[in-house]
Structure 1
Amino acid sequence: MTRLLVFLLAFALIASPGDAQPLAVIGYYAGRTTAIDSFPTEKLTHIIFSFCHLRGNELSVNNSNDTATIRRLVSLKEKSPRLKVILSLGGWGGCKTCPDVFSTDSGREAFASSARELSDYFHTDGIDLDWEYPALENVPGYSYTPQDKDNFTAVIRLLRRTLGRKAEISFAAGGFTTYLQTSIDWKQVAPLVNYINLMSYDLVNGYSTITGHHTGLYSTPQQVESVDHAVRWLDSAGVPLRKVVIGMAFYARIFQGADSVNNGLYRPGHFFRGVSYRDEAIRLSADSGFVYHWDSVAQAPYKYNAQQQLFASFDDTHSIRLKTEYALHKRLGGVMFWQLMDDSFFSGGLLDVIDNTKLSAGKGRKK
């Protein structure tokens, strides 16, 4: 009996909520080879090279510059041995032939085999699929069919079998309701992947005709789409939250033509341009005519320039901290962002905010 009590006590301690898995911090990277040295990559758990492409049915690296970048990313493990370097396929506009390649056994087999070969060649740690979007209209002129959903499942299943148990497999998932409902067979796919990288940004995008929060934390009466909405949807579908990684935007989306009602929020307008976080202090400054606002319902910032009728939606240090705390509180798998090249160089950027929030939460648990 004594041994049984000791065992049960030990199990209780192991299963204690305080021993939740560490929060993954995943950054996509689409920058120059040497620019990676300008960022505190030791604060990342994963860095995802963006992007590889399909050449015929096989995963391929575009050119010698991309090859050099991947090798530089892998070399970061010398100072950060636990860092995972992942190769990603696709991106917006980068998966034109995915519906065709993944629709046949031969296409999927060639792809999975080439993914294994490329991973072995570069000594990387896994594959991320950024197919935007299975079974949904996406880039104008790109094909899509309802069968994409099952073909996505099939290629993930084959990747797991081909790459093995130790390889990491993730995918970039749309953060909007139609994607969640249509594109993925969650019950089949979730057990096979390590992380679901939820693109809870671009929720108001380049095709939107009404302004809004492109990466708001919570839903509002005027806008359902949000980080929390997507997380709750996945939770209700039985997806383990420990595999869900919420997305953050290291860039602003600016819309043009928004009138001054509600300071441009939820007003007719059209997408104008994006701005990297590192440039926002100048391009979205008060001197340039922008006034800062905070939406206490969405828990999201925005700026409005009344003279030029410009509306800007973005993440800032406050919203990044709140999202990191949200991920910790919900015991999610982690946080991720697009993309590292948009952050401030060297220090004082949004990656620092994520790291400091994690460290503060860790100190709080120890007290």
Structure 2
Amino acid sequence: MRRSMLGRLAVAACSLTLLTAFAPAAGADGGGASGPGHSYKKVGYFTQWGVYGRDFQVQDLEASGSAGKLTHINYAFGNVSPQGTCFTGNVSGEADAWADYVRPLDAENSVDGVADTPEQPLAGNFNQLRELKAKHPGLKVLISLGGWSWSTHFSDAALTPASRKAFVESCIDLYIKGNLPQDGSRGGAGAAAGVFDGIDLDWEWPGSAGDTDTKFRPEDKRNFTELVKEFRTQLDGYAKSQRKRTRYELTAFVPTAPAKIDAGFDVRRIMRDLDFVTLQGYDFHVSGESKTAQQSALYARGDFSVDGTVDAWRLRGAPAHKLVMGMPFYGQGWTGVSGGGDGMGQPATGPAPATWSAGYEDYEALKKLADSGTYQVHRDRRGGHAWLFDGTTLWTYDDPQVLRAKTAYVREHGLGGAMFWSLDADTSDGELMTAVDRGLRGR
């Protein structure tokens, strides 16, 4: 996949660095149940690069009915330059202005059914998101900064008060004020104004190892706290200057492993300034490992789990209503599985062949395998996870039944909602999005 990004993290090196300590044991939650009228967040990631190989356009969210079920779209990703600023352009592997705001779309692929013209200053994904918001006035779009591959320079950008101030100013100028670099007739001052309603910080990871070229320092924990505060201060200041009636939202994607949390996140302090955090609820195990294992179980004794992640954040002071549960719209897969039985926990020779990248497959493709009769669907009902196995190849994934259990957990524990990586992996009729929406409504 472009930029060596499998969704977020589907590589073995990520598993070895990300999951470095066992999650806390499952425990009771005092958050209390919420009724059907509770306003849950439903946050879906839209991938910049999905418009290419997958040919997944913003308009597909409207066609599938998913747009009307979402409360937030996180646009993945914005990059941070070596100078510590938000930037865009056409730089291979680093920025893609063509996809963001230059690429013209025809009427068939446009949300409003009208083809882009050569003269309009905003085209591409940004313009389509603007059109989608016009159809769904309550929908919010956030720019997600970083990700696994583009967190390289976060530590430098957050290092000093001056660097933090300059970093935040650049991000607000580019995405909130919408001052895009000129690219022919596209871009210019205010060209993308109103597209983004806030910023999602996806620094992977402050204070501990991430991708091979991502810098990290012991002082990242303090600096991340101050960076969050700087974003909150500047976003609020700009909203006030514009006499905006609602504030710009500020969120963050955060890890499962307690060691990662403690190394980089002053939980009580950052939660004061963040509207909510999206919890890593997947890639607990990945296809680069030598044995098959669950990647997104709701409960797991002595292993990582969604419940353990929630507990870890609650124990460190995060309020339940600001925790949004991450759910995968993809699976992790192994081949050459030996040892018999249902295939789970058995040795494997390597990642399973897949459509886009070995060991990583969209739910849309996994559903076809489940319906083919070649694979058997297995379930750990107590653990709340599922997998496919044909005797040789195993895929661990979430299907609508698993998502019903997870949304029931969200309601019962008073969490803030659900997040999904990523929207382009769902079926054309939005089967997983519908399952989440219905589950959060208690249906």
> TM-score, with normalisation over the residues of structure 1?
0.87
Pairwise mapping of residues 179-218 of structure 1 onto structure 2 (< 5 A)? 179-218=260-299
Pairwise mapping of residues 173-184 of structure 1 onto structure 2 (< 5 A)? 173-184=254-265
Alpha-carbon spacing, 1:274–1:120, altered in 2? closer, same or farther (3 Å): same
Which residue, out of 251, 262, 267, partners 2:346?
A: 267
Q: Which residue of 1 aligns with 2:168?
A: 112
Q: Does 1:169 align with 2:241?
A: no
Q: Does 1:232 align with 2:289?
A: no
Alpha-carbon spacing, 1:191–1:53, altered in 2? closer, same or farther (3 Å): same
Distance 1:101 1:348 in 2: 38
Distance 1:184 1:100 in 2: 17
Alpha-carbon spacing, 1:285–1:34, altered in 2? closer, same or farther (3 Å): closer
Which residue, out of 85, 96, 100, partners 1:66?
A: 100
| Greater relative CO, 1 or 2 (CA 8 Å, sep 6+) | 2
Q: What one-letter code is carried by the residue in structure 2 that aligns with 1:249?
A: P
How far is the alpha carbon of 1:267 from its aligned partner?
A: 2.5
Aligned residues of 2:142 and 2:198 also touching (Cα < 8 A): yes
Q: What one-letter code is carried by the residue in structure 2 that aligns with 1:52?
A: G
Cα deviation code 1:155-178 (max 9, x no counterpart)? 111000011171111111112332
Alpha-carbon spacing, 1:34–1:266, altered in 2? closer, same or farther (3 Å): closer
Distance 2:157 2:219 in 1: 12
Which residue, out of 46, 54, 75, partners 1:49?
A: 75
SS of residue matched to 1:190: helix
Q: Which residue of 2 aligns with 1:314?
A: 397
Which residue, out of 135, 138, 150, partners 2:210?
A: 138
Higher share of residues assigned helix? 1
Q: Which residue of 1 aligns with 2:324?
A: 245
SS of residue matched to 1:114: helix
Distance 2:43 2:398 in 1: 16
Aligned residues of 1:87 and 1:127 also touching (Cα < 8 A): yes
How far is the alpha carbon of 1:185 from its aligned partner?
A: 0.8
Pairwise mapping of residues 88-103 of structure 1 onto structure 2 (< 5 A)? 88-103=144-159
Distance 1:335 1:279 in 2: 22
How far is the alpha carbon of 1:254 from its aligned partner?
A: 0.4
Name whichever of 80-89 and 48-57 sits farther off.
Answer: 48-57
Which residue, out of 394, 411, 418, partners 1:335?
A: 418
SS of residue matched to 1:264: coil
5+ residue gaps, structure 1: 1-15, 362-367
Q: Which residue of 2 aligns with 1:7?
A: none
Q: Which residue of 1 aligns with 2:182?
A: none
Which residue, out of 198, 202, 219, partners 1:147?
A: 219
Pairwise mapping of residues 348-359 of structure 1 onto structure 2 (< 5 A)? 348-359=430-441
SS of residue matched to 2:342: helix
Aligned residues of 1:52 and 1:89 also touching (Cα < 8 A): yes
Identity of aligned residues (%): 26
Q: Which residue of 1 aligns with 2:91?
A: none
Distance 2:56 2:362 in 1: 19
Cα deviation code 1:139-162 (max 9, x no counterpart)? 124322211111111111100001
SS of residue matched to 1:353: helix
Aligned residues of 2:75 and 2:143 also touching (Cα < 8 A): yes
How far is the alpha carbon of 1:182 from its aligned partner?
A: 2.3
How far is the alpha carbon of 1:50 from its aligned partner?
A: 0.4
Aligned residues of 1:176 and 1:203 also touching (Cα < 8 A): no
Name whichever of 160-169 and 257-266 sits farther off.
Answer: 257-266
Q: Which residue of 1 aligns with 2:385?
A: 300
Cα deviation code 1:288-345 (max 9, x no counterpart)? x422100122111011221xx3221100010111111111111111100000011111
Query: How many residues matched?
Result: 341
How far is the alpha carbon of 1:207 from its aligned partner?
A: 4.5
Name whichever of 275-284 and 31-40 sits farther off.
Answer: 31-40
5+ residue gaps, structure 2: 1-32, 89-94, 102-123, 179-191, 240-246, 353-358
Q: Does 1:23 align with 2:109?
A: no
Q: Does 1:37 align with 2:37?
A: no
Name whichever of 64-73 and 331-340 sits farther off.
Answer: 64-73
Which residue, out of 134, 159, 176, partners 1:78?
A: 134
SS of residue matched to 1:263: coil
Cα deviation code 1:227-272 (max 9, x no counterpart)? 1111112111121010000010000110233323442212333444
SS of residue matched to 1:154: helix
Q: Does 1:281 align with 2:367?
A: yes
Distance 2:287 2:168 in 1: 32
Aligned residues of 2:287 and 2:333 also touching (Cα < 8 A): no
Cα deviation code 1:102-139 (max 9, x no counterpart)? 11222211111012112121311100011111111221
